[in-house]
Amino acid sequence: MGKRNIHATNFRKVLELFNENRGQEAEKLLKIIQEDYLDLYNENKELRTQIKEVADILDLAECMEFDGQKYWINEDVEKTGPYCQVCYDRDGVLIRLQERSKHWECYSCQNMFVKMPTGNVIHKSRPKKESKPPLRLFS
């Protein structure tokens, strides 16, 4: 930061050098200012990218669901996953688990997650309504 503060005064220096007819020195200084500008530009771009990444992670964290062993992303429209709990907690990366017959497998850390008989099973069919027998008028 100190370096940048010093360079901020260079704008005035350039003007002074021009006024004193020291054009070549002024030009050199302008080059330095240009480099500073490019540095700041790149740093700014990098920070913007980082901010976006953090915002994305926060957005994501809001719709993350943990079923006791795996993560799911539950957005209003759809639920995706499951994702590896180990990889996410350790590295912050979402690795989609591969479905096998009796377990889910992470191709990244090779962890296996046994399918739970209940819990994360989503019952899609609604319990059937008991059909009432027709009213008997005569018995």
In whole angstroms, how close is the CB of 72 to Zn ion at the nearest point? 15
Q: Can you tell me which of 33, 64, 73, 86 binds Zn ion, judged by CB under 5 A?
A: 86
Q: What count of Cα atoms within 13 Å lies in the side-chain half-sphere of residue 72?
A: 15
Considering the complex, what minimum distance in angstroms separates the CB of residue 80 from Zn ion? 16
**Which residues, in sequence order, are CB contacts of 88 under 8 Å at separation 6+?**
71, 94, 95
Q: Which stretch binds Zn ion (CB under 5 A): 25-33, 71-79, 108-116, 127-135?
A: 108-116
| φ, ψ for residue 65, nearest 5 deg | -130, 140
| Sole binder of Zn ion in the list 29, 70, 84, 104 (CB under 5 A) | 84
For 81, left (φ over 0), alpha (ψ -120 to 50), or beta?
A: left
Which of the residues 88 through 107 are near Zn ion (CB under 5 A)? 95, 106
Quote the least distance from Cβ 77 to Zn ion, whole Å.
Answer: 26
Query: From the CB of 108, what's the least distance to Zn ion, in Å?
Result: 5
Question: Using an 8 Å Cβ cutoff, are 72 and 83 in contact?
Answer: yes
Residue 68 and residue 119: Cα distance in Å, rounded?
9
Residue number with CB closer to Zn ion (50 or 98): 98
- The C-alpha atoms of residue 132 and residue 43 are separated, in whole angstroms, by 72
Is residue 87 involved in binding Zn ion (CB under 5 A)?
Answer: yes
Instruction: In angstroms, give the least distance from the CB of 122 to Zn ion.
Output: 23
Q: Which of 10, 74, 108, 120 binds Zn ion (CB under 5 A)?
A: 108
83 three-class SS = strand
Residues that bind Zn ion (CB under 5 A): 84, 86-87, 95, 106, 108-109
